[in-house]
Amino acid sequence: MSGFLFLLSTDWVMNRTTESRRTGILWKLTSGLEDLDFADGIALLSSRYVDIQDKTANRLVNEVARVGLKINAKKSKVMRINARNDQRIKVNDEQVDDLEEFVYLGALNIGQRRRGHQRHTTETK
């Protein structure tokens, strides 16, 4: 698949996955953030475990299958920030690994566990 077609199909999948439901991170009462798209990856955002599990295991998996793609659970990662729920996210009945840190655009993002919660800090490299 050419790069352009891949980006086009990824954009279509993300629009279909996040449409008509407000399950992301709310900025204000009337606006929120559902996902981030970058290069060849996506980040789904949610404030609740049940919403992120529904986005990944149900909606995202179904929508990528419609364009002939599959989600690789071994390459997928989860980062929890201020999370009270430690249940693992599953994609195609496979558990997705949790991350403690990642680098995005040169910034090191760290999630630290404290008494069942996580604190988030960002450091620039």
Which tens digits make up the pLDDT trace of 16-64? 888 877 788 877 777 788 887 776 677 888 888 888 888 888 888 999 9
Among 98, 97, 92, residue whose Cα is nearest residue 71? 92
Q: Residue 111: its pLDDT value, please?
A: 66
Q: Residue 85: its pLDDT value, please?
A: 85
Which tens digits make up the pLDDT trace of 92-122? 889 999 888 877 777 777 765 433 444 444 4
Q: Fill in the DSSP letter of residue 93.
A: T
Question: Which pairs with CB-CB distance under 8 Å and at least 24 residues apart come from 57-66?
Answer: 57/89, 57/90, 57/91, 57/92, 59/16, 59/17, 59/18, 60/13, 60/17, 60/91, 61/91, 61/92, 63/13, 63/16, 63/17, 64/13, 66/13, 66/16
* Sequence spans of domains, the chain: 3-124
Q: Residue 66: its pLDDT value, please?
A: 92
